[in-house]
Amino acid sequence: MYHYEGHLRSSDIIKDMVIGMADGLTVPFALAAGLSGAVESSGIIITAGIAEIAAGSIAMGLGGFLAGKTEVDHYASELKREYEEVEKFPEIEKLEVREIFAELGLPSHLQHEIAEVIASDKNKWVNFMMRYELGLEKPHVSRARQSAFTIGLAYIVGGIIPLSPYFFVDNTIEGLCYSCGITLIALFIFGFLKSRLTGQKPLRGAMKVVAIGALAALTAFILAKLVNSHL
């Protein structure tokens, strides 16, 4: 019988989408809510919202790029060091290989045999140590650019959702009501799907995301009202 293993693939892309979408939904939503409590023009909210989405997507994308570049550079640095170690201290590195298999419960004679087989090919030996000693997977060469694009695009998509009602209504409070409705639904769907993908309880995860978004928007609205009343 065929057995399907439902493991999550392309976790880096999904992680970047989650990062971008989470902030894209929450930050512009809170900004729009705050401005709705302080101004009466939807045009101001639209202008500020678009500016925030543009700046936020660039900042988030740049952060993703730098994180991806750091990951690539770190892997390259550790790879170079591991090659030097197997060259200068082969017996110590073989011992480390045996220790890895000892933790898996393999008997001593198999530990030695496997260590010798692995050590017979330097490239495979180093790759083995990178993965199982250091826990490092080789990042894709385009990881940094891909991360920047994915996070930035997800931020833009998420940010447009809470801002969109203001394009169709002039009254900011009315726009906020519509924005709350569609954004909280979007947050619920986002939280539900994210929780399912990460193996958490979907309903609890969805409600947690909704609560965070609602709290951020409510706080921004109240603070804007208080500040505006004292100006």
3-state SS of the chain? CCCCCCCCCCHHHHHHHHHHHHHHHHHHHHHHHHHHCCCCCHHHHHHHHHHHHHHHHHHHHHHHHHHHHHHHHHHHHHHHHHHHHHHHCHHHHHHHHHHHHHHCCCCHHHHHHHHHHHHCCHHHHHHHHHHHCCCCCCCCCCHHHHHHHHHHHHHHHHHHHHHHHHHCCCCHHHHHHHHHHHHHHHHHHHHHHHHHHCCCCHHHHHHHHHHHHHHHHHHHHHHHHHHHHCC
More confident of the two residues 162 and 86: 162
What single-letter DSSP state applies at residue 170? Answer: S
109 falls within a domain: yes
Can you give the pLDDT at residue 3? 41
183 falls within a domain: yes
**Total structural domains within the chain:** 1
pLDDT exceeds 50 at position 82: yes
For residue 23, the tally of other CB atoms under 10 A from its CB is 19
Query: Tens of pLDDT along 17-39?
Result: 888 888 888 999 889 988 888 88
pTM: 0.75
Question: Cα 207 to chain center, whole Å?
Answer: 19
63 falls within a domain: yes
80 falls within a domain: yes
Query: Tens of pLDDT along 132-163?
Result: 788 777 777 777 888 889 999 999 999 999 99
Can you give the pLDDT at residue 6? 44
Can you give the pLDDT at residue 9? 44
pLDDT exceeds 80 at position 228: no
Work out the pLDDT band at 1, boundaries 50, 70, 90.
very low
231 falls within a domain: no
pLDDT exceeds 70 at position 231: no
59 falls within a domain: yes
Q: For residue 193, give its domain range.
A: 11-222
6 falls within a domain: no
pLDDT exceeds 70 at position 66: yes
